Structure formats: C-alpha cells, structure tokens
Structure 1
Amino acid sequence: MLTKLFRLKYLFASNLVFVGWISCFLVSRVEADQSINLGQVPIYFIQPNPKPPDNGTPSAPHGTGTRGDCLYKPELPLLTPLVGGYNLDLSVSDYPTFWIYLPYTSEDAPSGEFSLQDEDGENDIYRESVKLPDQPGIVSITLPKTENPLEVGQTYRWNLEINCPSTELSNELPTPASVTGLVRRVAQSKDLERELNGANTPLERIAAYGKHHIWYDTLTELAELRLQDPQNMNLETAWIKLLTDQSFVETISKTNILGNLQ
C-alpha cells in the first residue's frame, strides 16, 4: 500500500514538472512568434551625389552647428544632426522625423526649441519648445500631423537650439547651442513603390529606402525598429554600420536611442 502511494506521488510530481516545462516552452514560443521577423537583409545607403550645393547646405553629412554657451563635454561627441546634411536630406514622408545626437541633458539646459522654415530660413512653418532628456543620446522630433504636410519638390530648413545658461557672469543673453539641416520632400519613384509593396520584412523596406537615396526614412525606420527591440544584436550591427558608413563617429552610433523629445 505504501509503495503504491509513493508511486502515485512520484507520478503526480513528475506530471507537474512536465506540465511546467510545457508551459514555459509554450510561453517561449509565443514570445518568439511576437518578435520582429527581420530576415537577413544587408542595408546600404546609396548617396544621390548631386552637384555641390550653393544654398548654404552643409558640405559634410554632419550638418552644421555651434556649441554656444553650453558646457563643453570633452568625454562626449558634439551636438550632431544625423539628418539634413549633404546627400542626407531626402524624404518621401509628408511628416518626417528629425534625428539628432544630443550631449546635453535637462540638468545642462532648461529647454530647447525646434523650428522648421522655408528653404531660405525666412518664414516659420513650425516652431515648438522641447524638454531635454535626463541622459545624453540620440533623440528625434517628428513634424506633428496637426501641421501642414511637406510639399513634394520643396526643400525646408530645420533648426534645433539648446537654451543653456551662460557660464560667464554677463548681462548679455546666453548664446544657445544649435544645429541645422535641410529636408527635401520627394515623391516615391515607381521602382521604390514596387519594392516597398513587395517587401516581406521591415529590413527589406529599409534596404529599399537606402537603395533609392532616401536617408530620412532609412534612418527613421531602422531607429524605430531598434526602439522596439533594443536588445537585438542584428539591428544594433546594422545601425552602427549605417551610421559609420556615412562618416558619423562610432561613439554616436553606439549611444542610446532615446526617441521623441516632448
């Protein structure tokens, strides 16, 4: 009788272990099924190589900027726009996203201001104050859909100013740190539209943008994937290669992507 009871207890315990193992297996399978299907697609950005600009467009992919009165941080890269420089200014989006490496935090500056203007920088199209994050990193600002969309064939100038307090005793207003760049809205070509419609994975879409010189959308879609899956090493490798191929320093490519400034 005791032997029979022992066998029943042993079988019951074994069944519990087996059921627990199956449950963990099923949860793992569900989590795996919910992950992003990336595939193995190399991403290359092909620059359009237009004639050298004569309208103040930065001749380097980094765009232009000044440190102003913001504290110099030798251990960090400078304030750097990741979009809007020479050959990196095309977008097919009517509401594009602007990406900037920001070495300053909310402790360094109370606020910043983003503006979008016409190509000559004379007329404001959009202007908004932003709050800085609590750590350095790559941030984004998206033109809200409450504003008018960018027009196909038009070039716009954008600017981000960081309102750092002056480090010197002076009655003069402090000079903000700033970066500027361009964005040119272009129409999707038939080839690009066909490749986007035929893409089976997010990386195939990104590769299509890169092949057709569309830097803003290449960078935005890859950055958004990384925000969704920050531990994915394949995405991290693709991101680092994409930025370093365009002469951005590796330190910036390996920094945290913080996402949208509010």
Structure 2
Amino acid sequence: MKKHCLLIVLLFGGAFFSPVLAQPSTRPEPKPPASPPAPRPVQTTASVDVLTFLRSPDRSLPITRTHTELRSDSCFAAGSPPLTALVPRSTPARTATGHPTFIWYLPATADGGRPVHFQLDAINSNSTRLVYETRYAAGELAPGLVHLTLPRQISALTPGQLYRWSVSVLCEPDDPSASASISAWVLRELPSPAWLARQQKSDALERLRLNAVAGYWYETLAALLPRQSDQVQHYWQQLLSEEGLSAVALRSPTQQP
C-alpha cells in the first residue's frame, strides 16, 4: 500500500514540479519619439512706405496733358509714349517757389529731332501776358524726361496768379498747325512761416515729404526726378501711377544743354 502511495505522489509531484522554460519577451520595442510638426510660416503684411500727396481742389481748367497724334505722317517714332506734361489730373498744380521746375516727356522723333518751343503765360479773365519763352533747336533735346527751371532773371511768379505753360514740338516748322502740343497750369501759393521753418530743419527726404503733404506738386516732382535711391524711385512710380502717368514713369531724365 505504501508503495502505491509513493508512486502516486511521485507521478503527480513530477507533474506539479516540472521545470518551466522562460519564454522570450514579446513586448514591442519602444518607437522613437515623433518629430514635432514643422511650425507654420507666419504670414505678415510688409509695411509699405507711401508718399502722401495732398491734391488741391479741382478747378476744372482746360488742360492737355498728352498729345494724341491723329496725323498719319506722325513726326514721332513708333512705340513711344506720347508727348506728356507731368502734372496731376486736378488743376491747377501748385508751387511754393517763384521759379518752379516744369517737367515733360519728349518722345523720340522719326528722323532724329524737331524744334521744341516752351512758353509760360500769365492768364487773366480777359487777357494773356507772355512771361517767358524759349526754343530748342532740332536735336538739341534728347528724348526722355525734360525739365526746365524758370530762370532767375525772370520775375518770380506772383502768388495767386494763374499761369499756363505749354510745350510744342514743331513737326513741320513751316506749318504751325502740324505741331504737337501740351499745356498745363501752375499756381503759386505761399507757405506759412512755421512750415518754412520746419523745412529748413529737415533733411532732403523729409523736405520731399513735407512738400508732398502740403500739395506742392512742382517741388515734389523736381525732388523725385533724379531718383537717386530706391525709396525715391518708389515714391516717383507711386505718384505718377496715381495720376495716370505710368506710361512715362520708367523713362529716364535727359542730359540737357
């Protein structure tokens, strides 16, 4: 009987105490941390420096800013912008000085040059008085942006007096009716003593801005014409574009006699 019990114990005990082999771990290896998402670009609005020009009330004076050639035998070379006075749409354009600078675009002529006539008149309700005139010989002016400053030997413009300036290209010197002409206005208005004092204390760029915000077209444009910096070039294109003169904004000033 004891033998049978011992056998049973050994049989069942072996079953309970059989060695258990360790199983290899099946836990997944940890994944490397995911890269953080790339930051979205921040959209910013670039600040644009804008030249503020004060436009004077429009008196609707007759003006010819551009010459549209209707003749088939035009004296101007094909592909150029027309003869153009660089003035604003509203009239009259103002100046603070008694000897302003007038600027116009002169297109290339078909065969190398034509005489050009400039004239400045004082205009009253019932009379016209010649103030100044000059004539350039054929070929004397190169095509491009032409400027003329009223000479110092000529009396300064009278404040409050209306003046009209005109440029004519004599396409056929023997036939004045064949001339290409433009005309515009200038009115002198005296600035305040406080404004003049501020001008005297300012640098060139600040003087330009002061002229513009006061509405002095002729001083503003004359200061912009050389376009000696990117900032001034930006102002030049902005101002001419706002006045419908983009066609001549990229033209170069001429070398004048």
TM-score (normalised: structure 2)? 0.69
Alpha-carbon contact 1:105-1:134 (below 8 Å) kept: no
Instruction: Give CA-to-partner distance per residue, 1:143-185, whole Å, 9 cap, x none.
Output: 111111111111111111111138xxxx956511111111101
Distance 1:48 1:63 in 2: 17
Secondary structure of 1:257's counterpart equals coil
Greater Rg by CA? 2
Who is 2:253 aligned against?
257
Match of 2:36 in 1: none
Query: Contact 2:80 / 2:108 at 8 angstroms: preserved in 1?
Result: no
- Contact 1:89 1:216 (C-alpha < 8 Å) held by counterparts: yes
**How far 1:110 sits from its partner (Å)?**
3.1
The alignment's C-alpha RMSD in Å is 2.8
The correspondence for 2:218, drawn from 216, 237, 260, is 216
Name the amino acid aligned to 1:49.
P
Determine helix, strand or coil for the equivalent of 2:254.
strand
Q: Does 1:165 align with 2:172?
A: yes
Alignment partners' CA distance in 1, 2:111 and 2:78: 17
- CA–CA distance in structure 2, aligned partners of residues 106 and 173 of structure 1: 18
Q: Are 1:82 and 2:78 matched, yes or no?
A: no
- Residue number among 241, 245, 249 corresponding to 2:242 in the alignment: 245
**How do 1:17-166 and structure 2 match up within 5 A?**
42-50=50-58, 52-53=59-60, 56-58=61-63, 63=65, 65=67, 67=69, 70-83=74-87, 85-87=89-91, 89-105=93-109, 107-120=111-124, 122-131=128-137, 132=139, 135-165=142-172
Could you tell me how far apart the structure 2 residues matched to 1:134 and 1:144 are? Answer: 18
Superposed displacement of residue 42, structure 1: 4.4
C-alpha distance in structure 1 between counterparts of 2:160 and 2:199, whole Å: 21
Q: How far apart in 1 are the matches of 2:206 and 2:92?
A: 20
Q: Structure 1: give runs of 5+ residues left out of the alignment.
A: 1-39
- Structure ranking higher in helix proportion: 1
What SS does structure 2 have at the residue aligned with 1:49? coil
- Cα distance in structure 2, aligned partners of 1:128 and 1:137: 18
Task: Determine helix, strand or coil for the equivalent of 2:185.
Answer: strand
2:133 maps to a residue whose letter is R
The answer to whether the 8 Å contact 1:98/1:142 transfers is yes
Q: Secondary structure at the match of 2:178?
A: coil
Residue correspondences, number: 205
TM-score for both structures, normalised by structure 1: 0.68
CA distance in 1, matches of 2:110, 2:152: 27
